[in-house]
Amino acid sequence: MKKGKLRKKIESLREQIAIHQNKIALEKQNSFPDKGCISHWEKEITAFEKQIEKAMKKLEE
């Protein structure tokens, strides 16, 4: 993958992380937060972070 595309992918993943963090924060404000949703979003954030790590390694090559 070209460096430009990798940078765009990293930026997009970081945006998704921010969106998910916001969703988690909003859900935790509810009287009865949906722990299933929060867990799901946290797992997705972890997956996004792993993808960012892989893309960063490819950029360094």
What are the domain boundaries of the chain?
1-28
Q: Which residues of 6-20 are buried (b: 16+ CB within 10 A; e: fewer)?
A: beebbeebeeebeeb
The one-digit pLDDT tens for each residue of the chain (61 residues) are: 788 999 999 999 999 999 999 999 999 999 999 999 999 999 999 999 999 999 999 998 8
Write down the pLDDT at residue 1: 75
Structure tokens given for 46: 């972890």
